[in-house]
Amino acid sequence: MDGSISEVKGVGDNVAKKLNILGIKTKSDLIWNFPRRYDDFSNLTKISNIQPGPISIKAKISNVTGRYVRRGLHITEALASDGSSSVRLLWFNQPYRSKAIKSNHEYFISGSFELGRGKFAIMNPSAELASDFPINAARIIPIYKETKGLKSFTIRKILAELKKEIEEIAENLPDSIIKEQKLISLSRALSQIHFPGSSEELEEAKKRLAFDEVFTLVLAALITKQENNLSKAPKILFDEKLAKKFVEALPYKLTNAQRKVAWQIYQDMEREIPANRLVEGDVGSGKTVVAAMAGVMAISRGFQVAVMAPTEILARQHADNFSQLLKPLGLDSKVILLLGSMKSSQKQNAHKKIKDGTAQLIVGTHALISEKVDMKNLGLAVIDEQHRFGVEQRKTLLAKAGHVPHLISMTATPIPRSLALTVYGELDVSVIDEMPPGRKPAVTELVSPNSKAQLYKKVDKELEDGWQMFVVCPLISESDLLNYLSAEEVYKDLSSKVFKHRTVALLHGKLKSEQKEQIMNDFIAKKYDILVSTTVIEVGVDVPNATIMLIEGPERFGLAQIHQLRGRIGRGEHQGYCYLIMSDSKAPSKRLLALERETDGFKLAELDLELRGPGAIYGTMQHGALDLRLANISDTKLIASARNQAQKFLDSGEKLSSYPELAKNVHKNRLITSLN
């Protein structure tokens, strides 16, 4: 199965290159490349009974002719007859048809019966000899992801060449699981997913393969948790007096949710089993304070704390925040910043302080995992927006300790429980589910593109009062394929026309790191009134003076993503306003309407999961997107069954190596899920 796709009959160099574009390099890649959807042509109709729309017939073909009607357009015409009546067949730009079709032979013919060149005909039909096994006609037809010059028709033909090999694929689950879950065999499922003989067969295949997807994900997470529980971390004992002193020095009162999560972390750190906790909370819910509470406890016991952020500007903000929080305890001098952009002498000084233990709370980006960084006694690692780091990067950071340190991961992306159980099944999850007192959620309003002029006048009054505005676009540059406004287009329009009396800046991912840092710092310093940006601001810094956000083409974003974006505004005492400017004047979707009424990030994430799948919550994960093509992550019954079976498998002591294909998939999923 690992043989090159070019070994398959009918796959020349050109087709192999096209398949490579789709990520298909081996026979196995093709077999596990499931259809996106299906067209049902399985019901044969008499020609005398056909109606407009998709149809399949069994008929003899005659009177085949081909001609060019104008430069570049070739038409092939034929007549199909089945004894009840006859119907015209019409192909565009398929000149080979006239030679390939054998006159007066019976064919399975599938296509759409519609108006073509003034008369009804079956347009661009698939036609296969009735004596052969039909691949593209008279059956449920799978439709695959395609690329220029490679259609599903060709993919189906190549798969047909592999049909015997598919039927001989070895099982990858224990017999006990297959029997208990009432599943069909793996080989049968793969055969039926590509060549379903009926809708019942297709459902059988989907049930088996969906179970496999969730089972391997959950098993990967449970194995990681099992390994983590066998590791040892330093015990960091709780000091009640220190905790009270820290809390009393805060300029605000902690929420009950913050207190609860901090206590959970304190209990984790008192054990020898390494803490492995994910702290979820909306933007502005106070995750950093909770991390600081944990950090203070580690420092008081002589351990170092490493805080890793995805961007330099966020790392700087964290360093400032931690310094302020630790100042009342006289520990602010123990905070040090380490960034890739720092001068060589600054880095050397930081490395020295980290190595000799003078620096006890180290904040940085990827620079923290540099080979030159030598931690003296790392006891706690805090990773902000953890899904933005690759697994290997996280492992390198944890390896700096020489032992397994306690780990806290923080994210502002709400993760529905069903998704957390599968992808992050090895984690203990804490949720900060209330906002600090006085923090007002952004008022969100859908805006028709026809109402833009009035909206611009409205927000200009806010800008006149000294407030600032984000304008977020789904694209950097103009696209012929996607009908959405780009950041470059919007920046040009706003800076030269609509808001030419204001200062406007442009920020996107193609700019160099130092340019992005400078623009963002200038915006914080109020040098710009308006920042036009892509989603690079999604994980960003506090700009308390930014109270307005305009989001162009909200249809292009996930609900959780928009919720996180709007969390960037109204960080101060002033009310924040988020305006979603739709791409057209059609009635808004259920998804977008939910944003106007719902301020709970978890409810929005659940809705996104239900409507758009896990990719809407995690568009890109380390080592690729979450690969659930058939399983519905909202199917709690499926997740419970898979989790139960995965635990049974581990408890049985059966070796994973006995199932090579399962072992390979579990390893791949551990790269996605594992945090240590």
Residue that terminates a domain, selected from 87, 116, 138: 138
| Two tokens, residue 658 | 């006995």
358 pLDDT exceeds 60?
yes
In a domain, 186, yes or no: no
Residue that terminates a domain, selected from 570, 598, 626: 598
In a domain, 129, yes or no: yes
- Are both 2 and 104 inside the same structural domain? no
How does pLDDT run across 226-250, given as a tens digit for each residue? 887 888 889 999 999 999 999 999 9
Burial class (CB in 10 A: 0-12, 13-18, 19+), 648: middle
530 neighbors 505 (Cβ within 8 angstroms):
yes
In a domain, 196, yes or no: no
How does pLDDT run across 278-304, given as a tens digit for each residue? 898 887 788 999 999 999 999 999 999
In a domain, 650, yes or no: no
Q: Average pLDDT, stretch 54-64? A: 92
Return all residues near 294 (Cβ < 8 A) that are at least 6 apart. 262, 265, 266, 269, 305, 380, 382, 406, 408
- Are both 257 and 357 inside the same structural domain? yes
In a domain, 5, yes or no: yes
Task: Pick from 68-72, 190-194, 271-275, 477-481 the range whose average pLDDT is largest.
Answer: 190-194
pLDDT value of residue 573: 74
536 neighbors 510 (Cβ within 8 angstroms):
no
β-partners of residue 579 are 445, 550
pLDDT value of residue 619: 45
Handedness of CA 500, 504, 509, 513 (dihedral sign): positive
Could you give the number of structural domains in the chain? 4
User: Mean pLDDT of all residues in the chain?
Assistant: 86
The residue segments making up the domain with residue 126 are 44-138
205 neighbors 192 (Cβ within 8 angstroms):
yes
Q: Quote the CA–CA distance of 284 and 601 in Å, as a whole number.
A: 12
- Are both 262 and 375 inside the same structural domain? yes
Q: Supply the CATH number for residue 107's domain.
A: 2.40.50.140
- Are both 154 and 103 inside the same structural domain? no
| Two tokens, residue 673 | 């899920």
pLDDT value of residue 260: 96
Per-residue pLDDT band for 268 (boundaries 50, 70, 90) equals very high
Q: Name the 3-class secondary structure at 427.
A: coil
In a domain, 60, yes or no: yes
- Are both 72 and 53 inside the same structural domain? yes
- Are both 256 and 386 inside the same structural domain? yes
Q: Quote the CA–CA distance of 431 and 247 in Å, as a whole number.
A: 20
How far, in Å, are 442, 466, 579 from residue 545 at the CA level? Answer: 14, 8, 17
Q: Quote the CA–CA distance of 372 and 46 in Å, as a whole number.
A: 77
- Are both 306 and 335 inside the same structural domain? yes
- Are both 393 and 483 inside the same structural domain? no
- Are both 451 and 551 inside the same structural domain? yes
pLDDT value of residue 386: 59
Residue that terminates a domain, selected from 546, 571, 598: 598
In a domain, 53, yes or no: yes
pLDDT value of residue 675: 44
- Are both 82 and 119 inside the same structural domain? yes
- Are both 9 and 113 inside the same structural domain? no
| Two tokens, residue 346 | 């600054």
Strands 140-143 and 304-308: unpaired
* Exposure string for 166-197, b = 16+ CB within 10 A, e = fewer: beebeebbbeebbeebebbbbbbbbbbbbbbe
47 neighbors 81 (Cβ within 8 angstroms):
yes
Q: Give the containing element (helix H, strand E) for 563.
A: helix 559-566
Q: Name the 3-class secondary structure at 317.
A: helix
Q: For the chain, what's the residue count?
A: 676
How does pLDDT run across 491-525, given as a tens digit for each residue? 999 999 999 999 999 998 788 878 888 898 899 99
Q: Quote the CA–CA distance of 346 and 336 in Å, as a whole number.
A: 11
- Are both 379 and 488 inside the same structural domain? no
**HEC secondary structure over 228-259:** HHHCCCCCCCCCHHHHHHHHHCCCCCCCHHHH
Q: Supply the CATH number for residue 570's domain.
A: 3.40.50.300
How does pLDDT run across 388-427, given as a tens digit for each residue? 544 565 567 667 767 788 989 888 777 776 667 666 667 7
In a domain, 297, yes or no: yes
Query: How many CB atoms neighbour CB 26 within 10 A?
Result: 17
pTM above 0.75, yes or no: no
